[in-house]
Amino acid sequence: MEGPLPLTVVWLTGLYFSGLKKPFVWLKSTEFKFLKMINDAGREIPEKIEGLGSVRPFRKLTLGRSDQKRNRANIKKPLITERVPRISKNLEGAISRSGLKNRDRISFHHHLRLGDSVVEQVLFLLEQMGYRELILCVSSVMGPATAAVLRAVRGGVIRRIETTGLKSPLSEALQAGEIPEPVIFRSHGGRARAIENGETPINLAFIAASEIDREGNMTGTQGINRFGSMGYAIVDAENAFYVIGLTDSITSRPFLHISISACFVDEVVELISIGSKSQIAGGSIRISRRPVEKLIARRAVQVLAAAEVIKPDFSYQSGSGGISLLVTALLKEYMMKNEIVGSFASGGVTGNLVDLMRDGFFDSLWDVQSFDDKAAVSLGENPSHREMSASLYANPENPGCIAHKLDVMILSATEIDRDFHVNSITGTNGRILGALGGAPDTAAGAGLTIVVLPSFRGRIPTVNHRVQTVCTPGNTVDVLVSERGIAVNPQREDLLRCLNDSGLEIFPIKELVRKVHNLTGEPDQPIAGNRIRGVVEYRDGSILDCIRS
């Protein structure tokens, strides 16, 4: 049922959930009854969600870094090295041989970012072949791919989208209710977990590679459209029932760097073009030149220094936002001055990180996504620059999870609230702007997680009483750094002592909210409807929040 509910009774009561007393809300209608739970992020979550069925609400006491148990589904492909995939130029024939059916799940990666043309080509062909009501499982949707996916939704080809993020015009279509089923937002680690444990089985994976050899081995480090790491696609290749490799460069030369072995590839199709590598560095990736953002970055490095985490063999990751990238640049100056060498930097890798490693400031890089051509070249040439799958990067069930070995994580955000909950998908106005990415994974794993953001953008506050959408729970966030001041999560009493003794100006986060709102006024609250249009999963598969309209 859609629309407002004619409620006659609303009350709070207690429920022993997994041995713990947890609140839920029981809504009794004159027409039907249903249960809604309040999760540990304070968000109302229904008992069942269309497309997901029964769901688990997020709990702070979810399994932690070292307590997650590996629950990996059986890999369907034996490692038979003599197996050689079929190579052709007929994508339609490859799809027909895959056994794909209506309502199956297909997958793509987004390593070509704004330069991707594979999604558009494949979805157009699927529509021509008459496929309907497919589930699209994609690591993210950017650039021209967003319009292509929207056309496929409107044409009935796609009924559900599973992604870490999406952009306009697809984001507006979600909030307008054009997508038949709620969009499932998963972090990079959450997506890898769901694929590996069989929660989201992939029937057919379309994997673009910049070059594929005659044996069917795939790489992203060679060819005219090299894009670097294929980290998000590795999980798809290892677990999908059928894999079609797509490339615009087939070679007989042996690879120096193989991203995906031929034993995981069923067919290879040569396309005229997979896209343009010149667009890889677009989107959110930029070095900030704004004075306010430079101030925030300097303060973040001061926090790192005061907390004494920049020390020999420390590990580090930053987001792709402008302030986060600037923190990395300033970090180099501090490390040079103090003669510090870190163990590794990880995540999405830029040319700046490559320079840090080559100049001796980090021993190695762990690369799940290469953000520019310098990073792509380095991955293919430097053995200390290592490719990692999304599972090794951030899967909470992976025993070797790199995110769990981080000392420092610098996060970007669209807003943060007084409970330190972070929003990275929607703005204060409720519009979809960004993605989950690996933020929930790295925040949970890092020893120190710092959120860097200006306190307002265009007179709209970003430090608020309550974020519009909880993407990264506050119990995994340690420090907020803004131009108006620094706030420390009161759970981190050790950090409070360190920073209070450092001379830095520290405020309770509620005081920062008050200061910002005195300047901007209270933000207008968007009116949300009752229909769930998007679901934000935590990395363990529990539900953090819902996007309604």
126-164 pLDDT, tens digit each: 999 999 999 999 999 999 999 999 999 999 999 999 999
Q: What percent of the chain has pLDDT over 70?
A: 88
Which letter does DSSP use for residue 324 in this model?
A: H
87 and 250 Cβ atoms separated by less than 8 Å: yes
In degrees and rounded to multiples of 5, residue 20 shows phi and psi of -120, 145
Instruction: Determine the Cα–Cα distance for residues 275 and 478; give it in Å rounded to an integer.
Output: 40
Q: What is the pLDDT of residues 348-379, one digit of tens each?
A: 999 999 999 999 999 999 999 999 999 999 99
What integer pLDDT is reported at residue 324 of this predicted model? 86
Helix pair 91-98, 118-128: axis angle to 10 deg: 70
Q: Residue 346: beta bridge partners? A: 366
- Maximum Cα interatomic distance, the chain, rounded to a whole number of Å: 72
For the chain, what percentages of helix, strand and coil (3-state, to nearest 5) are there?
30, 25, 45
Q: What percent of the chain has pLDDT over 90?
A: 80
Q: Which of 353, 349, 363 is nearest to 313 (CA)?
A: 363
Instruction: Determine the Cα–Cα distance for residues 117 and 504; give it in Å rounded to an integer.
Output: 48
Q: Which of 331, 329, 325, 332 is nearest to 348 (CA)?
A: 325
Check whether 78 has a pLDDT greater than 80: no
Cα dihedral sign, 113-316-489-541:
positive
What's the CATH code, domain 291-530? 3.40.1080.10
Q: What is the dihedral of CA 381, 189, 151, 181, to 10 degrees?
A: 170
Check whether 75 has a pLDDT greater than 70: no
What is 86-279's CATH topology? Answer: Glutaconate Coenzyme A-transferase (3.40.1080)
Alpha carbon 37 to its chain centroid, in Å, reads: 25
Reported pTM: 0.91
366 and 402 Cβ atoms separated by less than 8 Å: yes
Which letter does DSSP use for residue 198 in this model?
A: T
Which letter does DSSP use for residue 275 in this model?
A: B
Q: Mean pLDDT across the stretch 94-119?
A: 97
What integer pLDDT is reported at residue 545 of this predicted model? 98
Q: Six-digit token pair at 430? A: 């409720």
Among 82-86, 271-275, 304-308, the minimum mean pLDDT is found in: 82-86
Q: Six-digit token pair at 480? A: 């907020």
Q: CB-side exposure of 395: number of CA atoms within 13 Å? A: 25
Q: What ranges in 159-312 are assigned the alpha helix state H? A: 170-175, 188-196, 231-239, 291-306
Alpha carbon 285 to its chain centroid, in Å, reads: 14
Q: Which of 372, 547, 370, 401 is nearest to 471 (CA)?
A: 547
Q: Which of 123, 87, 389 is nearest to 247 (CA)?
A: 87
Strand 543-548 to 532-537 pairing: antiparallel
Instruction: Determine the Cα–Cα distance for residues 317 and 179; give it in Å rounded to an integer.
Output: 34
Q: Where residue 70 falls among pLDDT bands split at 50, 70, 90?
A: low
Instruction: Determine the Cα–Cα distance for residues 417 and 307; give it in Å rounded to an integer.
Output: 23
Q: Six-digit token pair at 132? A: 């309907």
What integer pLDDT is reported at residue 325 of this predicted model? 85
| Alpha-carbon distances of 77 from 240, 249, 254, 256, 528, rounded to whole Å | 9, 25, 23, 24, 45
Instruction: Determine the Cα–Cα distance for residues 162 and 105; give it in Å rounded to an integer.
Output: 10
Q: Where residue 83 falls among pLDDT bands split at 50, 70, 90?
A: low
Q: What is the pLDDT of residues 16-63, one digit of tens each?
A: 333 333 344 433 333 334 467 999 999 999 999 988 899 999 998 654
In degrees and rounded to multiples of 5, residue 170 shows phi and psi of -65, -35
Instruction: Determine the Cα–Cα distance for residues 133 and 417; give it in Å rounded to an integer.
Output: 38
Q: What is the pLDDT of residues 374-412, one digit of tens each?
A: 999 999 999 999 999 999 999 999 999 999 999 999 999
For the beta carbon of residue 524, count every other beta carbon within 10 angstroms.
Answer: 10
Q: b/e per residue, 184-216, with b = 16+ CB within 10 A? A: bbbbbbbbbbbbbbeebbbbbbbbbbbbbbebb
Which letter does DSSP use for residue 33 in this model?
A: E
248 and 112 Cβ atoms separated by less than 8 Å: no
Q: b/e per residue, 454-483, with b = 16+ CB within 10 A? A: bbbeeebbbbbeebbbbbbbbbbbbbbbbe
Q: What ranges in 359-425 are assigned the alpha helix state H? A: 373-381, 390-394
Q: Mean pLDDT across the stretch 256-273?
A: 96
Instruction: Determine the Cα–Cα distance for residues 514 and 521; give it in Å rounded to an integer.
Output: 9
**Residues forming CATH 3.40.1080.10 domain(s) in the chain:** 86-279, 291-530
Cα dihedral sign, 140-146-148-151:
positive
Q: What is the pLDDT of residues 463-519, one digit of tens each?
A: 999 999 999 999 999 999 999 999 999 999 999 999 988 889 899 999 999 999 999
Instruction: Determine the Cα–Cα distance for residues 345 and 523; give it in Å rounded to an integer.
Output: 37
